[in-house]
A and B are shown apart, each in its own frame.
Chain A
């Protein structure tokens, strides 16, 4: 069965430090992959996506993610975290027909001064 796993429920980083959020997927074939951010009381905003091609994708707000087929992973990174990055981050995958999304359980990011 298809699934998306985010092993880290909660991560705390210092402002200015680097960040990596983990995401693993289990699919029959390489799915489309996404990272969303949900700020408190807000809806979900798409940070970046991977469909094919270059395995390092750039997104908004200085985020990037790297697709590694051998590890079935799509980890999100940011070189220097800002206090405004504190939010819930969701990794998601979909079939290439696009009509069935699977979300991970989310990683809550706290940024300390």
Chain B
């Protein structure tokens, strides 16, 4: 299994500000993913982040709102920009690991926007 850490674990932010969430993996991985889980909802994929290339965003998510960095094979950041209360969610990063493409998740970052 993969060991994945996220920082911060939770935060309360003001409307209009930005928050950068960090995801650190214990070993090198090719693909990292960022998900959003709104209160009482399932997971929605925001984007796929591959090292050395631009992140690929899913429908409904744009780079200006959710810029992603992937500077190396063990680290990625997601920024939630110009936040509004609708951005209050849990944000999770995940990685694929192993020959069977198992997906492992970080503990999540619980964001509240006031």
Contacts and interface: CB of A to CB of B under 8 A. Distances in A.
B50 to A, nearest CB: 9
Question: What bracket does the count of chain B residues touching chain A fall in?
Answer: 20 to 34
A43 B96 contact: no
B67 interface: no
Contact of B107 (A43, A51, A96, A106): A43
Nearest to B6: A43
A43 B31 CA distance: 19
Interface of B: 1, 31, 33, 41-43, 45, 48, 92, 96, 100-108, 110
Interface centre among B43, B92, B102 (most CB of A within 10 A): B43
5 contacts: A34-B103, A41-B110, A43-B92, A44-B105, A101-B45
Interface string A9-24: 0000000000000000
